[in-house]
Amino acid sequence: MTASLAFPVFSPPAVSLGARRSRRPISRKSSSAPRAGASFLSDVEQAPPDPILGVSVAFRECQNPNKLNLGVGAYRTEELKPYVLDVVKRAEKLMLDAGYDKEYLPMQGLAEFNAATVELLLGKESEAVKSNRVATVQSLSGTGSLRVGAAFVAKFMPGAKVFLPSPTWGNHKNIFADAGVEWAEYRYYDATTVGLDLEGMLGDLEAAPEGSVVVLHGCAHNPTGVDPTMDDWTKIADVVERRKLVPFFDVAYQGFASGSLEEDASSVRMFADRGIEFFCAQSYSKNLGLYAERVGAINAVLADADAAKKTLSQLNRIARAMYSNPPVHGARIAATVINDPELFQRWNEEMREMAGRIKTVRGMLYDDLVTRNPDKDWSFVTRQIGMFSFTGLNETQVKNMTDKHAVYMTKDGRISLAGLSQEKCAYLADAIDDSFRNVQ
């Protein structure tokens, strides 16, 4: 078992009120008199549109009856409608009948949820859980959990650089940058094979400074859908352990990728079983369909209970300053489903059904693409896992997909197969084939 991470005690310097007022984060022009009718925020730059959420805005404005929204990672039925899980409806009825109040939760969140989520992540027989070596704080889905973790890194691991896979989820860079944590990238995706660049990844991790934080997608890598095998994960863990790196898992799709909660947590559990300390952000947006409820958790799996206790106190303190305490409704849904044997069994069935529908359209899309262009290797479509497929389309080809075929997707060539129906597979295959053949 590795030694516990040494988090230095940090106290922010006292700043006088006068000093606070003297700081000017907003750029101002040198004119001594304010401009008539101009806001004091006139010099704030316009932020660029969000590359993912902006796709949905454009889709809604499109009038083409054949339009497809393959941008946002949200599950749709075969009729391309949002889906509220049966277990969520049943859990909400049980909650309504129980007459729960709407009082504030503690900073740490709902106790029943925290106990359930860490067990779901690490397993019922986890030695780390039994020995109280896990600090868990309920947070605002995966994004909020990552942000709390990023703030912890900034405060207690000063100077540590975060290494992100190239490519990665678009919000990772924003989250760590806004927390004041420097980030860099490591090689992950091989455009030639449309697969994992394991050699490049291991080489970059070997070169990372000791104590660096490495963000790892636990399963269903976003945006590529390319996951390491378990043999690959063993090699990754070897480097992490040897170089004394700190893994930060992002687990947004447990149970939703393969249809198995156990299989999708196997990478994280392997690290825990090896005694490697790590952070892990969890989300219940995809696997329970609780997109708008913002349900998730930040976990620190550590070498001893004392370190976990102190880390928990500081995670709570960060959460208190950031959003005070998390929402209760979605957390209670998740806890109810996980802790009720009947609901838990039905949830597993529904995850298999959702994952199965995505696998079905993957197979159909592959067949349609092969029919249209048998000379091109389309096997990446079925090799990838989860809701996304990284098509290899470049930005110009993606523009053709949208402008000519009304297929809305992110500029990096990612498509969400969760937004594809069997009926639309042939239409999408036509658009992809046209874009590859006729657009450079």
238 an active-site residue? no
347-377 pLDDT per residue, tens: 999 999 999 999 999 999 999 999 999 999 9
Q: What is the pLDDT of residue 14?
A: 43
Q: Give the model's confidence band at 33: pLDDT under 50 very low, under 70 low, under 90 confident, else very high.
A: low
Per-residue pLDDT, averaged over 415-421, amounts to 95
Q: What is the pLDDT of residue 34?
A: 52
Q: Give the model's confidence band at 35: pLDDT under 50 very low, under 70 low, under 90 confident, else very high.
A: low
394-411 pLDDT per residue, tens: 999 999 999 999 999 999
pTM: 0.89
* Contact (CB, 8 A) for 381 and 365: yes
For 323-412, where are the alpha helices, taking DSSP H only? Answer: 329-339, 341-372, 380-383, 395-405
* Contact (CB, 8 A) for 302 and 5: yes
Exactly one of 197, 204, 264, 286 is catalytic; which is it? 286
Q: Give the model's confidence band at 251: pLDDT under 50 very low, under 70 low, under 90 confident, else very high.
A: very high
Exactly one of 204, 227, 250, 264 is catalytic; which is it? 250
* Contact (CB, 8 A) for 249 and 212: no
Phi first, then psi: give them for residue 364, nearest 5 degrees.
-70, -40
Per-residue CA distances from 246 to 42, 235, 242, 329 (Å): 42, 15, 11, 33
Per-residue pLDDT, averaged over 81-92, amounts to 97
Exactly one of 169, 183, 233, 378 is catalytic; which is it? 169
- In the chain, % helix, strand, coil (3-state, to 5) comes to 45, 15, 40
Q: Give the model's confidence band at 4: pLDDT under 50 very low, under 70 low, under 90 confident, else very high.
A: low
Q: What is the pLDDT of residue 50?
A: 81
In the predicted model, what is the mean pLDDT of the chain? 92
Residue type, 28: R
286 an active-site residue? yes
Q: What is the pLDDT of residue 12?
A: 43
C-alpha span between 101 and 154 (Å, rounded): 36
Count CA within 13 A, CB hemisphere, residue 369: 22
Tokens 């075929």 belong to which residue?
405
Per-residue pLDDT, averaged over 48-57, amounts to 83
Per-residue pLDDT, averaged over 78-99, amounts to 96
- What b-and-e string marks burial along 179-215, b requiring 16 or more CB atoms within 10 Å of the CB? bebebeebbbbbeeebbbbbeebbebbeebeeebbbb
pLDDT of 271 > 50? The answer is: yes
Q: What is the pLDDT of residue 25?
A: 52
- Which residues contact residue 195 at a Cβ distance below 8 angstroms, ignoring those fewer than 6 apart? 189, 226, 380, 383
Q: What is the pLDDT of residue 436?
A: 96
pLDDT of 2 > 60? The answer is: no
250 an active-site residue? yes
Q: What is the pLDDT of residue 51?
A: 78
Q: What is the pLDDT of residue 53?
A: 79
Q: Please name which of 272, 187, 260 lies closest in space to residue 228, comparing C-alpha atoms.
A: 187
Q: Give the model's confidence band at 48: pLDDT under 50 very low, under 70 low, under 90 confident, else very high.
A: confident
179-202 pLDDT per residue, tens: 999 999 999 999 998 899 999 999
326-355 pLDDT per residue, tens: 999 999 999 999 999 999 999 999 999 999
- Which residues contact residue 111 at a Cβ distance below 8 angstroms, ignoring those fewer than 6 apart? none
C-alpha span between 285 and 255 (Å, rounded): 12
- Helix, strand or coil, per DSSP, at residue 12: coil
Percent of the chain with pLDDT over 90: 88
